[in-house]
Amino acid sequence: MKRFFLTLFSVVALLANAGTMPVYLDCSKPIEQRIDDLLPRLTLDEKIAIIHAQSKFSSPGIARLGIPTFWTDDGPHGVRPDVLWDEWEQAGATNDSCVAFPALTCLAATWNPDIARRYGIALGEEARYRGKDMILGPGVNILRTPLGGRNFEYMGEDPYLASAMVVPYVQGLQSQGVAACVKHYALNNNELFRHNTNVIVDERTLHEIYLPAFKAAVQQGHAWGIMGAYNLYKNIHNCHNPYLLNDVLKRDWGFDGVVVSDWGGAHDTEQAIKYGLDMEFGTWTNGLTEGARNAYDNYYLALPYKRLIEQGKFSTKELDDKVRRVLRLFMRTTLQDYRPRGSMCSAEHYATARATACEGIVLLQNRNATLPIDVNATRRVLVVGENAIKMMTVGGGSSSLKVQRESLPLEALRSRLQPLGIEVDYARGYVGDTTGAYNGVTTGQDLVDRRPAQELVREAVEKARQADIVIYYGGLNKSQHQDAEEFDREDYGLPYNQDDLISALAATGCRLVVVNISGNPVAMPWRDAVGAIVQGWMLGSEAGEALADVLTGAANPSGKLPFTWPEKLGDVGAHAMGDYPGTKRADSDIWDEEYCERFYVGYRWVDKAKTRPAFAFGHGLSYTSFKLGKPAMSATAVTAADSITFTVPVTNVGSRAGAEVVQLYIHDVKSSFERPYKELKGFAKIYLEPGQTRNVAITIGRDALSYYDDNQHRWVAEAGKFEALLGTASDKIAHRLTFTLTNP
């Protein structure tokens, strides 16, 4: 409210002095005209001020001209709680609890762009209510290795899927007057040594795998912000990288928004001036005891920049471009004529979180119809595992949240089954991280259990022998070296000796369901010994309810994996080629990491190496069955200017309503350039009642047939024969259609 009245006072003063509304405040005028009016009004000090932080999460507006402070906040799964002005400690607010939406791996696993838009809108509404102008998300870095600690915040391994899901998210978020800041641009594919890893990758791989989702966010989603990554490319930090920022982002893609540094990601004033950084944020100050008292003014784009201008080493040309971009951001957010007020913790937001979770949960395995739980034949259910009782919204880094509520799997399952006369017992099984705190937010849970590990296992096994079905909730959590910022996983196996526990449970002969909670694939040496496996992700506020929906059959699972689930690390290109996490230079702290596998990431590597994953990219089962009928295509020969549509009837041949995802992969039969065997280029999710048939149509254009020619520095589509592969997973291709591209 104070912020509102200060701004209002400034505007009233302006109108009184000028006698008429300045053009820059007239929202009926085009944005560029408003910027042209405002830019000459700014002093050098004001220009410098608005391109760097004044606190942990804000940059100053210009009170003299009625421009309010600009507030950012972490996402991308919920609005982070407020911290103190100069410190990471909690501000102690009582109105900053939020709805935690499922992590972005779950969102990608829905394969549903409509859900992504709904998700973005809900997040935008929460941000607006909290007075936030920019959400630092979504993240679209590619899952290159399952050891990546931050993979849970991203959208999987495939550039097309990530592109299709990020665009509606950005559009939904920005429809609420809140800027998206898509991150981390680019090649931030591991957390280990993230501040000093120099990525070595060929230009073709860069453009085909690691840049498409950012490009889609800019050109289709019209994102207003991009966050530079911590790592280096071509030996230059990505927050001021001339090739990535000036050449690709701003020149080739026409990006007209702002490039925001990751916090502390800027390293050099002259590079920041010349090489594309627009707004600098950082971490090294609490205003009192760390850094200088005026530490924000000492940032690279603050007083050091001003001094270079005053010394004549730089003109204001670069500064005015940065300021123009920041003013454009203001016009789109804080200086909009009308911005929705937003809402917090509404029933609609919880419904969105639950719908996203239900659609994203993946039924990986279901032998002998272990699921859904047969309530008519079940009298005793045993729940095992710490993740059944542990809150997962706290921890993991910048996406850690302070939630209004979080439903837990054990409680939710009990509330469903006990009214039906079904006993739900619990055994801890293992003890993992019991701290329950991150950055001043605590769960309030006391998970301490000092019993010996052998006793915990023995209890679980004894109870399992008496149960009709055992539901095991395990996997990872958000502790260091699991699903967490700043840390990569140290191995592919489950922590806390869970593999031995699961094997011991399976040895009892019980009907065993394993619910894996993680944002990453994990080793499953016990896979053939268990009945059902459910990938439960980090599901947010409605985690328990959504999992109960799927386990009991109230919701029919329809999620599909957004990444390949390898049997072992050696089946991953980045590890098979042997350059993760790179090699430390002898004369510095820089690590050179070469992407030796090139564009063979995920299922592309599976096809090349002819390995068999535990579960393929795009895999996901249902409680019903679907059949893809005879497909058709709109033409057998097309030119580069044409599009081609593939149509296939899909029938629900089972007894339950459900959803299937038709996936279209393209195979270039003969190319002068080496290409992956197949690449995802289209998909559609369809909902069907039992016995219902509907046609699915997927249209592609020239871009779906193209590869990036790094000799010509452009996308090329060669004339010749192509195959359209239609199926329901990368390893479940039902139909092949051949067509020809002519006159490309």
Q: Give 439's contacts (C-beta < 8 A, 6+ positions apart).
A: 83, 88, 89, 90, 400
| Cα–Cα distance for residue pair 261/239, rounded to 1 Å | 5
Q: 3-class DSSP state for residue 221? A: coil
Q: CA–CA distance from 295 to each of 282, 285, 654 (Å)?
A: 10, 6, 64
The residue annotated as part of the active site, out of 96, 262, 488, 668, is 262
Tokens of 238: 């990505």
| Cα–Cα distance for residue pair 115/352, rounded to 1 Å | 8
Q: Tell me the HSE value of 473 on the side-chain side, using a 13 A CA sphere.
A: 29
Q: Give 217's contacts (C-beta < 8 A, 6+ positions apart).
A: 140, 163, 166, 167, 170, 180, 182, 223, 226
Report CA 471 to chain centroid distance, whole Å: 28
β-bridge mates for residue 381, sequence order: 424, 469
Q: What are phi and psi of 367, to 5 degrees?
A: -70, 140
**199 close to 205: Cβ distance less than 8 angstroms:** no
Active site residue 592: no
Q: What are phi and psi of 519, to 5 degrees?
A: -105, 10
**714 close to 702: Cβ distance less than 8 angstroms:** no
**53 close to 299: Cβ distance less than 8 angstroms:** yes
Q: List the one residue out of 461, 488, 457 whose CA is nearest residue 191.
A: 488
| Cα–Cα distance for residue pair 731/735, rounded to 1 Å | 12
β-bridge mates for residue 514, sequence order: 472, 533
Tokens of 597: 């596998």
Q: What are phi and psi of 590, to 5 degrees?
A: -80, 135
| Cα–Cα distance for residue pair 687/650, rounded to 1 Å | 10
Q: What is the DSSP string of 677-715?
A: S-EEEEEEEEEE-TT-EEEEEEEE-GGGG-EEETTTTEE
**231 close to 239: Cβ distance less than 8 angstroms:** no
**733 close to 727: Cβ distance less than 8 angstroms:** yes
CB-count exposure of residue 286 (10 Å: 0-12, 13-18, 19+): middle
Q: 3-class DSSP state for residue 220? A: coil
Cis peptide before 372 (omega within 30 of 0): yes
Q: Is the dihedral of CA 338, 344, 349, 354 positive or negative?
A: positive
**688 close to 626: Cβ distance less than 8 angstroms:** yes
Task: Using DSSP bridges, classify how beta strands 512-517 and 532-535 pair: parallel, antiparallel or unpaired.
Answer: parallel
Q: What angle do CA 516, 552, 541 make, to 5 degrees?
A: 55
**372 close to 416: Cβ distance less than 8 angstroms:** no
As annotated, the active-site residues are 262
